[in-house]
Amino acid sequence: MNIGAHVRGGGTLIPSLDAGVAIGATSIQVFVQSPRMWKPSQYAPAVLEAYREAQRDHPTITDTFCHATYLINLATSDPELYEKSVAALSHNLAVGRAMGASGVILHVGSHKGVGFEEVVDQVVRAFTRALDDAGADTECPILIENAAGAGGTVGRSLEEIEALLEASGRDERLGVCLDTQHLFASGVDYATPSAARRLLKDVDRRIGIERLRCLHLNDSKTAFGSNRDRHANIGEGEIGEAGLAALVGHPAVRELPLLLEVPGDGGGPRAEDVVAARSVVERGVALYRRGGAKTTETK
């Protein structure tokens, strides 16, 4: 299994690898600019190359993912905000590619009530512009993250993500990151092996299981179907360890990077959160061992 965590990057980025090691993580997620400021962080080419080499040769950290700044809204009707969003995404992709990241995870944004169908084309144009401007490839794709479903958020269902992929011509530089809390908050059941199989079959049918590059592994402070994005520590929320186990223990998921975005004690994921996540995966794996070979099917 590969239990990862969101960690702080720092000016030279390499300390983020040490931060991951310190809590026992085997993959990490970082911001490469402030999540709530437009000003991009500037990294010297030597810094990015040094990180790339350190990540490539690291004995325990297998993958680094970048999370794009939260300010991006590719579904906005405001032309100035749209251009700033495309530029920010392009910058995040360029940095991610230069540092050898395995993808840039993106909250697409909100259409603010105008309707999903009205913004599909502009979102896809933004994807293409940012990917082309950054020189991005399949090694560092945009990873569309599913939304919890509040307001006019884009990507609140597999159907919406499928529509974005279709409109892009299924660009191979696009992938997906599924967030367990967002799935739960948007009313997606995966609490049993049969429910998890149904979900992953739907992922494979609509998106392609090969596009699923990682998961955000989070418990939920809010109830099932609440459409609210509120993360809790593993086993301390409304999903619980039993509710997470069937999904993260499924053979199609269990070896993916499972990235914690939990509050810990206020400073983000801790060593005990990594331990709790490992326990949940082990619990899930045991479900499938008891359930027999047919439970491994995703198609």
Q: What is the pLDDT of residues 144-161, one digit of tens each?
A: 999 999 889 999 999 999
Token pair belonging to 221: 């402070």
- Please, what are the domains in the chain? 2-296 (3.20.20.150)
Q: What single-letter DSSP state applies at residue 34?
A: -
CB 179 within 8 A of CB 146: yes
Average pLDDT, the chain: 95
Q: For 183-235, what is each residue's pLDDT tens digit? A: 999 999 999 999 999 999 999 999 999 999 999 999 999 999 999 999 999 99
Mark out the alpha helices in the chain (DSSP H runs): 15-22, 45-56, 79-98, 116-134, 158-167, 180-185, 193-206, 240-248, 271-291
Q: Which residues pair with 142 in a beta bridge?
A: 104, 174
The DSSP-derived string for 260-272 is E---BTTTB--HH
Residue 204: per-residue pLDDT: 98
Give the integer Cα–Cα distance in Å for 27 and 161.
Answer: 25
CB 239 within 8 A of CB 184: yes
User: Which of 236, 159, 245 is closest to 203 using CA atoms?
Assistant: 159
User: Which of 255, 165, 171, 168 is closest to 205 using CA atoms?
Assistant: 165
Q: For 230-281, what is each residue's pLDDT tens digit? A: 999 999 999 999 999 999 999 999 999 999 999 999 999 999 999 999 999 9
